[in-house]
Structure 1
Amino acid sequence: MTNNSSPKLQAHYFHPRNWGAWLLIGLMFSISVLPMVAQHYLGLGIGRLGKKLLKSRVRIARRNLALCFPEKTEQQREQILHGCFDNMGHAVIGTANAWFWSTKRFEAVVDVQGLEHIEKLRQHPGGILLVSMHFWTLESHARAYGLFDPGVGIYRPNKNPVYEYFQYHGRTKNNKYLVERKDVRSIIKALRQENAVWYAPDHDYGHHASVFVPFFAQPQAATITGTATLAKVKNTNLLVTYALRKPKGGYTLIIEPPIENYPVGNDEQDARTINGHIEQAIAKAPEQYMWIHRRFKSRPDGQDSLY
């Protein structure tokens, strides 16, 4: 979808088959009006319940941590795992706030580091490719970045029209519009129109348009080459940006200096560069990263699954 095709409420959205989605949205709105102290404890409760119920995700996260941090003790990795699910619970709260809070209220809980990097780039023509990653704060990150430099998000539309309506409009409260993740032409167009475009190349998207390069302790992690492809769009600059949740609530929006001399034209070297920046960001708060996805599900031909 583009800004010309943002979803509108339609009569059939209120059909009984969508009542479950309306209930979910109602719960999210109700969460957003709770005091922050109540939100904090509710988030912890959701996260700890999730850890008990989502056994397969716990196994995946535990395996990812063992693969990425073999130098840490089992106890240290378990602490990160526990924090990961606590932050999953807080992500439910953060999503509700990001979608329903007013700009004034949301702005009050955001600190920013590195705003000068955006301001400097905006003195010259060109788009900005925002290289980010799947922290649990991604919904809050989108809202926070949009406070200072409204941009374009890349996302996967939801099949339920009610949830899709609120997802789309929640993510564009302080931003411009969203583009489907497979719509490369619209992503390139957004960069050519000098937009900031959010892009997260940290998942395993399969063998297509990917190379196997190191990620933390794993020497062969499938890493997409799309970052380098998009960086070739004329006058495009790359910024690493993400948001970290503060212990007492709220967020710190972090904007790193532009990535220079990129791409160099070698797919593996360019992928290594991006993975290096992603690793540095995750290392600041590994418990806030989404370890629940199978980051190493794709293997070079002939190699057994790591899961």
Structure 2
Amino acid sequence: MINKGLSRLGVFFLYLVSLLPFWLLYIVSDCLFFFLYYVIGYRRKVVQENLANAFPQKSVEERADIEKKYFKYLADLILETVKMVSISKEEMQRRLVCTNPDVVKEYEAAGKSVTAVAGHYCNWEWAGAEFSINAPLFVIYKPLSSDVFDKFFIKVRTRFGAVAVAMKQTLRTMVAHKNEFTVTVFAGDQTPVREQTNYFTQFLNQPTAVFLGIEKIAKLIDSAVIFYDMKRVKRGYYTYTIVPLVENSKDSAPHQITEAHVKYLEGMINREPQYWLWSHRRWKFKPEPGEMPVK
């Protein structure tokens, strides 16, 4: 009961923070950056190790520069995500612009459902929220351990019409809506648990375990596969472009879809690395001898 009460108090605090105007929100973000980076050193060793493995060709100074820029952006990302609690549709669409929204409309006109893949890059939460304003959207998510915060973030993600689907319910949901036009968004850079890993690929200069679920579900419903290519224009403003990867999933070769979305994300990260979630423990394990060969 005490933990639940504290969680509810935390949710109320987040709501109050979300009411702050953007100019004040970013002052809070600057303070949060100082605290995360200089005071507690939040996961700095994880970030440094990830950057060293991903960019061995870069100098120590170059990687340190990316690290600092990442933490500055992480603070903004945290506060921008909190802002989703109360931001209006109009404000969201002013700050986040899709450069080619007609792509999905064309798929809908053709009766072709869409599997959308995003990475933990730029403000992926804003992209999902803004997209759901004008299109039916299923958002696949991993439930949180706290029931209070889980319900809170589901409410935030579905404010503008999206439907949140727990990861374990994905297949059942897709089968139930197989004959309808749907857009389903997945995070393509989640780490599978060791027991469910049966495919590795080369990602950011190292063998990386990858979920095959995106590919399996896309093939099941024969959807088109697209990628959200996000760019940060300036503080608090973004664009995203819908990039078609595979038109007809059923006709794709084994692992073609998986390799396509992994490589596209890798290109985005190489372009502006500070906007990826480097504090995530992405490489928890490596392939064992005799496992599926790394490509």
Match of 1:213 among 192, 201, 208: 201
Partner SS for 1:148: coil
Q: What amino acid is aligned across from residue 264 of structure 1 in structure 2?
A: S
Taking the aligned partners of 1:227 and 1:185, their CA distance within structure 2 comes to: 10
Query: Number of matched residues?
Result: 287
Residue 138 of structure 1 corresponds to 124
Residue 32 of structure 1 corresponds to 18
Residue 278 of structure 2 corresponds to 291
Taking the aligned partners of 1:41 and 1:248, their CA distance within structure 2 comes to: 12
Taking the aligned partners of 2:283 and 2:74, their CA distance within structure 1 comes to: 21
1:158/1:53 CA distance change after superposition, 3 Å: farther
> Superposition pairs for residues 139-158 of structure 1, below 5 Å?
139-158=125-144
> Superposition pairs for residues 1-307 of structure 1, below 5 Å?
17-52=3-38, 55=41, 57-135=43-121, 137-189=123-175, 192=178, 193-207=180-194, 208-218=196-206, 220-260=207-247, 262=249, 264-267=252-255, 269-302=256-289
TM-score, normalised with respect to structure 1: 0.84
- CA deviation after TM superposition for structure 1 residue 261, in Å: 5.9
Q: What amino acid is aligned across from residue 118 of structure 2 in structure 1?
A: S
Q: What amino acid is aligned across from residue 165 of structure 2 in structure 1?
A: V
Taking the aligned partners of 1:227 and 1:191, their CA distance within structure 2 comes to: 16
Moved more, 258-267 or 84-93: 258-267
Encode CA deviations 1:13-70: one digit per residue, 9 max, x unaligned: xx65433223322222222222212112211221331224554621111111111111
RMSD value, Cα: 2.4
1:241/1:191 CA distance change after superposition, 3 Å: farther
- CA deviation after TM superposition for structure 1 residue 177, in Å: 1.4
Partner SS for 2:116: strand
Q: What amino acid is aligned across from residue 290 of structure 1 in structure 2?
A: L
Gaps of 5+ in 2: 291-295
TM-score, normalised with respect to structure 2: 0.87
Moved more, 195-204 or 270-279: 270-279
Taking the aligned partners of 1:114 and 1:264, their CA distance within structure 2 comes to: 25
Q: What amino acid is aligned across from residue 10 of structure 2 in structure 1?
A: L
Taking the aligned partners of 1:112 and 1:270, their CA distance within structure 2 comes to: 23
Q: What amino acid is aligned across from residue 92 of structure 2 in structure 1?
A: F
Partner SS for 1:182: helix
- Structure 1 residue ranges, 4+ long, deviating more than 6 angstroms after superposition: none
Gaps of 5+ in 1: 1-14
- CA deviation after TM superposition for structure 1 residue 291, in Å: 0.8
Partner SS for 2:200: strand
Q: What amino acid is aligned across from residue 150 of structure 1 in structure 2?
A: P
- CA deviation after TM superposition for structure 1 residue 86, in Å: 1.3
CA contact (8 A) 2:200 2:210 kept: yes
1:117/1:159 CA distance change after superposition, 3 Å: same
Taking the aligned partners of 1:182 and 1:298, their CA distance within structure 2 comes to: 22
- CA deviation after TM superposition for structure 1 residue 90, in Å: 1.0
Partner SS for 1:256: strand
